[in-house]
Chains A and B, each alone.
Chain A
């Protein structure tokens, strides 16, 4: 018989780590709340008949957030055979709030107290036997991160599920509340199984609209129980929901009083000490800037560059390309096919793969920042700044996720309840450079700036600045005006991530990049090679000697004038910017084909030398800015369409991103050439007009809205 066990607990309590340990899966684990938005399922190791469901982290069973709705619906509709409630031992009081509600569901519950290693390290004591007695269910101690006690927890949950031993709630509310709940059970819920009645009665007492709707209670019965609820409220001088909350916390206080001895009370924990510095009002931002500078500097300029240079200069330039060329030549392969394979496929795919080492180093460093808990602090730090400009810190979480790939970043915006903030976050999330944009950054930094240390980090800060500027400007428009939604986030404790987790995270992201290079990028390079090497010669379709006569050059030449004011008005750059819409790595792949990456490498001369010759430093940086900010790849555009659920808003997002990218890039090129070369022209005038308009939009008075429309109830807990 199939057994279903649900993993439920507060955000960042370690459910996904436990899920991975129990099922052997590789679900993404992040040390910030809200990693799991949807439930995930897996089979318990060595038990094919046991399904483990990882529910999103929730603080209560009230339908306040999307995560709570997903988790609650699963628990009350699917009714798993047992719930494994994972609670953070370092924060018992808040975690037990959910436990008290899970116990009322009438489903067997096993409580797993996680992070016991940290509790013991702090010198605190939890009396597990006593906790089990007062909660009325089995309690086990575990450390999900160190994989201790996990097998025992799984066995206990399995036993509870098979024995179908329901938990009888040990806590009771005050007399008048219990009286009202009993009345509700009698009036409305007598048809439900007995063990489910209490939870539904409490929810009806709280006037939970979704439950009222689910139970299809008629108006007459509703008004009948409403009288009882109102009477109880009047007696206790509080609203129904607050009465239940207060009573739960009173009960939890009694539980903690009997089971928990806190030795470390009043002492600053290591996390507190670190936070005093990294979230300090004045130091937080400079520290964040230095950390991100180091992340990009190390991955693109130092360690990453060393490995990338070897991949480009030795692996592709000395080994792969010459070997392929010699081999094809030896077997008498036609020149066009040699061109397709060496200049097209190896040139294009090789150019992209050359950046894999840099990307792996970046992913490793980002994974470390995520897993140790610093990324959550960034959202907290950024909230202070974002709030001043009308954005909520909650908007920064999709942007953190978007540094890997824009698609999940855009999808993570679903957790933002405020519709205006959500739309604005969707529009701006892809300004943060995703992994696919790293090859463009590394290429420009390496080929045009001789590996200057500031180029790669500046790309990240250009993204952040673009978000802030857009936030300020858009917030001053009628569509987006309004106060930012409140942002309350629990900061997880810092911990040293395990090397295995870091390497797994790095490899998963890196492997998907390599796979993409072997599929969509390879197909793209073949199309680009054919389109650039064939054209009409003397009125006939034929292979061209000069790429400038090919079909791609003809198309690119039509588009190129549009980019001329931005400094990259050559057809190759125009084509690269357009092919970047398929996948951003294609920008580098296209350059690899059109600027003869493999051919140049074969000569032993500087790789990307031809590319460097067709750009100036300023035009290259303008090209970088344009490609960082402009419309993302088709996959991300698809995600925007899904999340906006409106063609009009999707076009607005793409239009805004592209126009904004064009304006910024134009300013960079025109003002840059004025400063460096002293060139002044119509473009310079236009750039100054844009700067003036931007400054006006940034500093014009902000009319604060007097009402805040939200899709649901306030977010955060």
Chain B
């Protein structure tokens, strides 16, 4: 087990980093959507004249 970890340490660390980035992106996207910060169109809702329609 230890030998496996030692042999694949860099792969495990990089994989964990990639996974963490993916999770962070998903959490951030969900948080932004709930807070009405970022619209699905990619623009900021704050500057959109129709934001009240998206976030009723």
Residues of A within 8 A of B (CB): 25-28, 35-38, 40, 56, 328, 331-334, 337, 340-341, 345, 404-408, 411-412, 414, 436, 508-509, 512-513, 515-516, 518-520, 522-523, 526, 583, 634-636, 638-639, 642
CB distance from A30 to the nearest CB of B (A): 10
Known: A337-B15, A341-B14, A522-B25. A36 touches B49 (CB 8 A): yes
How far does the alpha carbon of A27 sit from the alpha carbon of B49 in the complex, in Å? Answer: 9
With both beta carbons as reference points, the residue of chain A lying nearest to B40 in the complex is identified as: A635
CB distance from A240 to the nearest CB of B (A): 33
Which of A28, A334, A412, A526 sits near B47, CB closer than 8 Å? A28
**Interface bits B11-38 vs A (CB < 8 Å: 1, else 0):** 1001100100110011011000000001
State whether B41 touches A405 (Cβ < 8 A). yes
Q: Indicate if the CB atoms of A408 and B43 lie closer than 8 Å.
A: yes
Tell me the count of chain B residues lying within 8 A, CB to CB, of chain A.
28
Instruction: Enumerate chain B residues within 8 angstroms of A36, measured Cβ to Cβ.
Output: 49
A414 to chain B: which residues have CB within 8 Å?
Answer: 50, 53
Cross-chain contact A512 with B44 (CB below 8 angstroms) = yes
Contact with A337, one of B11, B25, B50 (Cβ below 8 angstroms)? B11
Q: Are A408 and B49 in contact (CB under 8 A)?
A: yes
Q: Pick 28 A–B contacts, CB within 8 A, sort by A.
A: A26-B46, A26-B47, A27-B46, A28-B49, A36-B49, A331-B10, A337-B11, A337-B14, A337-B18, A345-B18, A405-B42, A406-B41, A408-B41, A408-B43, A408-B49, A408-B50, A411-B48, A411-B49, A414-B53, A509-B43, A512-B42, A519-B29, A523-B22, A526-B18, A526-B22, A635-B40, A639-B41, A642-B54
Cα of A302 to Cα of B18 in the assembled complex, Å: 37
CB-defined contacts of B15 to chain A, threshold 8 Å: 337
Measured CA separation A176–B40 after assembly (Å): 56
Task: Say yes or no: A407-B49 contact (C-beta < 8 A), given A328-B14, A519-B28.
Answer: no
Does B41 lie within 8 Å of A636, measured CB to CB? yes
User: Which residues of chain A come closer than 8 Å to B54, judged between CB atoms?
Assistant: 642
B residues near A, CB below 8 A? 8, 10-11, 14-15, 18, 21-22, 25-26, 28-29, 38-44, 46-54
With A35-B49, A411-B53, A519-B28 in contact, do A508 and B43 touch (Cβ < 8 Å)?
A: yes
Dominant SS at the B interface?
helix
* CB-based closest 6 A-B pairs: A407-B41, A635-B40, A411-B50, A334-B11, A331-B10, A516-B42
Write the nearest CB–CB distance from A77 to chain B, whole angstroms. 15
In the bound complex, CA of A28 to CA of B48 (Å): 7
Q: How close is B7's CB to chain A, nearest CB, in angstroms?
A: 8
A512 & B43 in contact (Cβ 8 Å cutoff): yes
Please give me the residue from chain A that is nearest to B26 by CB atom. A523
Q: Tell me which residues across on chain A come within 8 A of B40, comparing CB atoms.
A: 407, 634-635, 638
Q: Within 8 Å CB of B14, what residues of A? A: 328, 331, 333, 337, 341
Task: List the A side residues contacting B52 at CB < 8 Å.
Answer: 38
Docked complex Cα distance between A28 and B46 (Å): 9
From B11, which residue of chain A is reached at the shortest CB distance?
A334
Q: How far is B15's CA from A110's CA once the two chains are assembled, in angstroms? A: 62
| List of B residues within 8 angstroms of A408 by Cβ | 41, 43, 48-50
Instruction: Point out the residues of chain A lying under 8 angstroms from B38, CB to CB.
Output: 512, 515
Q: How far is the CA of A624 from the CA of B15 in the complex (A)?
A: 36
* A333 pairs with B42, CB closer than 8 A: no
How far apart are the CA atoms of A340 and B54 in the complex, in Å?
A: 35
How many whole Å from A593's CB to the nearest CB in chain B? Answer: 15
Tell whether, in the assembled complex, residue A37 and residue B50 are in contact, meaning their CB atoms are under 8 Å apart: yes
Complex: A639 Cα to B51 Cα, angstroms: 11
Task: Determine the chain A residues whose CB is within 8 A of the CB of B26 once the complex forms.
Answer: 523
C-alpha gap A242/B18 in the complex (Å)? 68
- How far is it, in angstroms, between the C-alpha of A436 and the C-alpha of B21 when the chains are bound? 24
CA distance in complex: A438, B47 (Å): 22
- In the complex, the chain B residue whose C-beta lies closest to that of A513 is B42
State A454–B1 Cα separation when bound (angstroms): 61
Q: Which residue of B lies closest to A637 (CB)?
A: B40
Please report the C-alpha to C-alpha distance between residue A508 and residue B18 in the assembled complex, in whole angstroms.
28
Contact residues in A for B53 (Cβ distance below 8 Å): 38, 411, 414, 642
Of B26, B40, B49, B50, chain A has the most CB atoms within 10 Å of the CB of B49
Q: Are B46 and A25 in contact (CB under 8 A)?
A: yes
Greatest chain B CB density within 10 A among A340, A407, A520 is at: A407
Give the chain B neighbours of A407 by CB distance below 8 A.
Answer: 39-41, 43
B25 and A412 contacting across the interface, CB-CB below 8 Å: no
**Chain A residues whose C-beta falls within 8 Å of the C-beta of B18 in the assembled complex:** 337, 340-341, 345, 526
Taken together as a complex, chains A and B put the C-alpha atoms of A518 and B26 apart, in Å, by: 11
Contact residues in A for B10 (Cβ distance below 8 Å)? 331-333
Give, as a whole number of angstroms, the nearest-CB distance from B3 to chain A: 14
Chain B residues near A516 (CB-CB < 8 A) = 42
Nearest Cβ distance between residue B8 and chain A, in whole angstroms? 7
Cβ–Cβ contact B49 & A334, under 8 A: no
Point out the residues of chain A lying under 8 angstroms from B29, CB to CB: 519-520
By a CB distance below 8 angstroms, the chain A residues around B41 are 405-408, 635-636, 639
- What residues of A have a CB within 8 angstroms of the CB of B47 in the complex? 25-28, 508
| Cβ A405 vs Cβ B25 within 8 A | no
In Å, the complex CA distance between A346 and B19 comes to 16
Query: Known contacts A26-B47, A522-B25; can you find 4 more A-B pairs with CB under 8 A?
Result: A26-B46, A27-B46, A408-B48, A638-B40
